Chain A
Amino acid sequence: AQRVTQPEKLLSVFKGAPVELKCNYSYSGSPELFWYVQYSRQRLQLLLRHISRESIKGFTADLNKGETSFHLKKPFAQEEDSAMYYCALSTPSGNTPLVFGKGTRLSVIA
């Protein structure tokens, strides 16, 4: 069965400091991995997906199959990055529903 683990419930960093939100997964095949973000009082929205290898709002994430990880990184945190971040996994082509981690709350301190 697929599983996503986000080991940190809360991560607090100072503005301008680097951010790394950890995500580990369990899946025997080649996963499709995503990061979703939920800002205060807003709906869950897609931040990025690993296959597009893009950078959104300065965030990047690299799939490491050896370590089964998909950590989310940003070199310089901004106050507006404060939100809940969820890592999610699906199988290729999206034929199984997304499995989410429990989420990490990022708090950026001014």
Chain B
Amino acid sequence: DTGVSQNPRHKITKRGQNVTFRCDPISEHNRLYWYRQTLGQGPEFLTYFQNEAQLEKSRLLSDRFSAERPKGSFSTLEIQRTEQGDSAMYLCASGGTGEWNGYTFGSGTRLTVV
């Protein structure tokens, strides 16, 4: 297991286009989290899944954002009609529901909307 994997590492898109990011968590982790990080800020929670169920969504997650985790394995985060304000690092993390040891983060996907 190589940890949490995110693809792509970088994405440049024109305003108004749709983008999709993928996250592959650590296989034995049943919880998967999406965070967003902008310059000078800590990671801000977007949404999380336990297995395939989406349990919580932040107010930051506008209706242009949608996340899925089919079959409780990998997850995708889609942003429709991107705006310049969506430019950020999108982080994925996974964790278990057993002994609480925090999360393991991926390297992130850096989105630039031009």
Instruction: Tell me the A residues contacting B by CB distance below 8 Å.
Output: 4, 6, 9, 32, 34, 36, 43-46, 49, 51, 86, 88, 90, 92-94, 96-103
Known: A43-B108, A102-B42. 10 other contacts (CB 8 A): A9-B40, A36-B105, A43-B105, A46-B103, A49-B102, A88-B42, A94-B31, A97-B45, A98-B102, A102-B41
Min distance, Cβ A41 to any Cβ of chain B, angstroms: 9
The size class of the interface chain B forms with chain A is: 20 to 34
Task: Give A32's nearest chain B residue, CB to CB.
Answer: B100
Q: Does B33 contact A (CB under 8 A)?
A: yes
Known contacts A94-B95, A97-B33, A97-B45; decide if A46 and B56 are in contact (CB<8 Å): no
A98: chain B residues within 8 A (beta carbon): 33, 43, 45, 102-103
Contact B41 A34 (CB under 8 A): no
A-B pairs, 3 with minimum CB distance: A100-B42, A94-B100, A44-B105
- Interface code B83-101, partner A: CB below 8 Å = 1, 0 otherwise? 0000000010001010011
Min distance, Cβ A7 to any Cβ of chain B, angstroms: 13
Contact B45 A45 (CB under 8 A): no
B102: chain A residues within 8 A (beta carbon): 34, 36, 46, 49, 88, 94, 98
B59-112, CB < 8 A from A: 91, 95, 97, 100-108
B106: chain A residues within 8 A (beta carbon): 43
